[in-house]
Amino acid sequence: MRQVLVVHYSQTGQLSRLVNAVCAPLQQRADIQVDFLAIEPAQPYPFPWPFLSFFRIFPETVLMRPQPLKPLAVDPAKRYDLIILAYQVWFLTPSLPITSFLASPEAAQLLRDTPVVTVIGCRNMWLMAQEKLKTRLSQLGARLLDNVALTDACGTAASFLSTPLWMFTGRQKPYSWVPRAGIDDAEIVASSRFGEAIAQRLSADALPLAEPMLQGLGAVRVDEKLIGSETVGNRSFQLWSRLLAAIGPQQSLRRGLGLVVYVAFLLCLIITVVPLGAVLKKLLAPVFKARTQRQKAYFAGPSGE
């Protein structure tokens, strides 16, 4: 019997629905055993988030500094044919509970020489988070075979408002004039096609998984307009996270004051630099067309658009 482990952490519940949709075809197969491992922080993160509490974890998230977790309900000595690793994106980085899991001894044992499929549910920016995860998986000796990335349906501009409102109010559409935040329900349901492809490959034979299984299924969509923004944003996040971590501990007044300055800086950046950058990128798009296509192909791998 084929053995599959699904590792996930969902704060809003949206990623859990995505995981269930992907895994449903696997669970329907008599020759596939699916184990679920829900990551639980020792101190749960609130939802909805109090505004400052959300930003207080910014340095630890970006720097991928592991935080305490509840004991992991999994046998690390068990060998799996496939691990599905589902995560949210926080500050252009895999969520802190997931990076904390990846720093654990259990993860090192489970992931060694094991094929992995990553599943992402986020607002729209996931490229840098996936790059960081790929690096960590490589360090652990895992083999990334496929990636699925589903993003908010309301679009980049609208999600600047709708997603924060969801985080801070707990409602996907708190006001009639705000577009609904989150991944479209129909897209979540349709993600079962990925599970069907994985199930077919697992049932085909007993050989180790070695090649992508989701090519041609539209597993990801790379927005070329966001490649530069993510790269620049990640550099800025790295700088500010180190500065804020040095200012003081997570709950200290010093960090709180530093975060007020940072949030003000971030808002000014979004209002001024981001629109200007978007105009410049549009003007220069013909010049860098070939380079952009190469970048898109790289970030879309291994599953492809």
Residue at 45 is within a domain = yes
CA atoms of 106 and 119, how far apart (whole Å)? 20
Average pLDDT rounded to a whole number, residues 217-234: 90
In this predicted structure, the answer to whether residue 7 has a pLDDT above a threshold of 70 is: yes
In this predicted structure, the answer to whether residue 274 has a pLDDT above a threshold of 80 is: no
CA distances from 200 to 25, 32, 148, 188, 276 (A): 9, 10, 17, 20, 47
pLDDT value of residue 158: 78
Q: Which residue has the tokens 């998986």?
A: 137
Residue at 301 is within a domain = no
Residue at 275 is within a domain = no
Arithmetic mean of pLDDT over the chain: 92
pLDDT value of residue 290: 79
Q: Report the percentage of the chain scoring pLDDT > 70.
A: 95
In this predicted structure, the answer to whether residue 280 has a pLDDT above a threshold of 70 is: no
Residue at 115 is within a domain = yes
What count of other Cβ atoms lies within 10 Å of the Cβ of residue 231?
Answer: 15
In this predicted structure, the answer to whether residue 287 has a pLDDT above a threshold of 70 is: no
Average pLDDT rounded to a whole number, residues 204-215: 96
pLDDT value of residue 221: 94
Residue at 262 is within a domain = no
pLDDT value of residue 225: 83
Residue 31's contacts (CB-CB under 8 Å, 6 or more residues apart) are 1, 2, 202, 203
Residue at 186 is within a domain = yes
pLDDT value of residue 293: 87
In this predicted structure, the answer to whether residue 288 has a pLDDT above a threshold of 70 is: no
Q: 291: pLDDT confidence band, cut at 50, 70 and 90? A: confident
Rg (CA), the chain: 20
Residue at 182 is within a domain = yes
Task: Determine if the pTM surpasses 0.85.
Answer: yes
Structural domain of 110: 2-225
Domains in the chain, number: 1
pLDDT value of residue 302: 96
Residue at 302 is within a domain = no
pLDDT tens track for 156-196: 777 778 888 899 999 998 888 888 989 999 999 999 999 99
In this predicted structure, the answer to whether residue 276 has a pLDDT above a threshold of 70 is: no
Average pLDDT rounded to a whole number, residues 78-93: 97
Q: 66: pLDDT confidence band, cut at 50, 70 and 90? A: very high
Q: What is the DSSP letter of 225?
A: G
- Comparing 95 with 283, the larger pLDDT belongs to 95
Average pLDDT rounded to a whole number, residues 9-24: 96
Closest CA to 48 of 5, 15, 13: 13
pLDDT value of residue 154: 80
CA atoms of 17 and 10, how far apart (whole Å)? 9
pLDDT value of residue 275: 66
Average pLDDT rounded to a whole number, residues 73-90: 96
pLDDT value of residue 271: 75
- Comparing 76 with 175, the larger pLDDT belongs to 76
Q: Which residue has the tokens 């899991």?
A: 101
Domain containing 65 — which CATH number? 3.40.50.360
Instruction: Find out whether 195 and 21 touch, Cβ atoms under 8 Å.
Output: yes
